[in-house]
Homo-oligomer: A and B are copies of this chain.
């Protein structure tokens, strides 16, 4: 028995009856209005309005095979890092009449696989994934269902799924090079756990491009402002003298900035701090944060466009590598300068 709450909804047949036309005609004014005579259409529209007709998405989906819903699997929403990308995806998708349901994975591949199944269960037509590290089950699922899937926040033209993102390793290299170019040799690297996070892994790999006389010391902690602060505290407590802090993400860099200020260490006079991402707030910290810009918004937009083209016109997405850019602001300075 169909569950009904309140006054039952009007359906196509009800509208057809009220407008004294066939259901096909009603369907037409819904889908191809221009093919219906103006007067007829007017009557139908009046009937729809009066009955507060809302077409059943399910019924349409079952006929067209299209749900018009896409799914995104992201580590977390509770963090500025993905927010703007998701925001951009959602908003661009809207231009194509597509909706987005987002599922958070907490960076756990198993949870991710489970949530992916859940998304497919509710009928999403395509999936946005973060990075290229996934559970086998997810890969199998994508293969079997042949569901369009695009990877964001990462670029690897050879990956078996199209990646639309940026070169994290290169971004890491740029950040490191900036610091090295400034004469810094003893660098504290602040990063989040890389175990299930290939973006972080790549950035760290980029950091490793350092010349032999540069010594990098890693401090790992959570991908939060508090995590960054904790890592900085650890670095300070280690007693080792550092010229600079190189952060794998702006979020952590904010924490580093706060902790250094708390410790009375002047940035950039005593130590430089380098971020990576260029969050909106990076431009207004004190001092303003030098960082590497990651085109999060454009990435979201491009990913949405590619996905729309895929589900609407069956043209599979192709890899896109977006450029990153060094943003030199105030938190970095020549050593001893």
Contact = CB atoms under 8 A, between A and B. Distances in A.
Interface of A: 2-7, 9, 52, 54-59, 61-69, 76-80, 83-84, 86-87, 90-91, 94, 99-104, 115, 118-123, 144-146, 148, 224-226, 229, 254-255, 257-259, 261-262, 280-281, 283-287, 314
A284 B229 CA distance: 7
A226 B286 contact: no
Given A78-B83, A104-B91, A123-B57, A226 B280 contact: yes
Contacts of A87: 76-78, 104
Contacts of A280: 78, 224-226
B52 A145 contact: yes
Nearest to A229: B284
A163 to B, nearest CB: 20
Contacts of A2: 63-65
* Those 3 A-B pairs whose CB atoms lie nearest each other, nearest first: A6-B146, A57-B123, A58-B61
A62 B69 contact: no
Contact of A5 (B118, B262, B314): B314
A283 B226 CA distance: 8
Given A77-B77, A78-B280, A101-B101, 19 more contacts: A2-B64, A3-B66, A5-B314, A6-B146, A54-B121, A55-B121, A57-B61, A58-B59, A59-B62, A77-B86, A77-B87, A78-B87, A80-B80, A94-B103, A94-B118, A255-B284, A258-B284, A259-B286, A262-B286
Given A58-B58, A91-B104, A261-B261, A4 B65 contact: yes
Contacts of A285: 258
Contacts of A64: 2-3
Contacts of A7: 146
A7 B147 CA distance: 11
Given A65-B4, A145-B54, A255-B284, A101 B100 contact: yes
Contact of A90 (B58, B77, B314): B77
7 contacts: A5-B146, A77-B84, A77-B87, A87-B104, A101-B101, A224-B280, A258-B286
B103 A99 contact: yes
B52 A3 contact: no
Contact of A99 (B61, B101, B144): B101
A9 B125 CA distance: 13
A261 B286 contact: yes
A90 B102 contact: yes
Contacts of A123: 56-58
A44 to B, nearest CB: 18
A78 B262 CA distance: 28
B9 A145 contact: yes
A61 B90 CA distance: 24
A79 B285 CA distance: 16
A115 B99 CA distance: 10
A250 to B, nearest CB: 12
Contacts of A120: 54
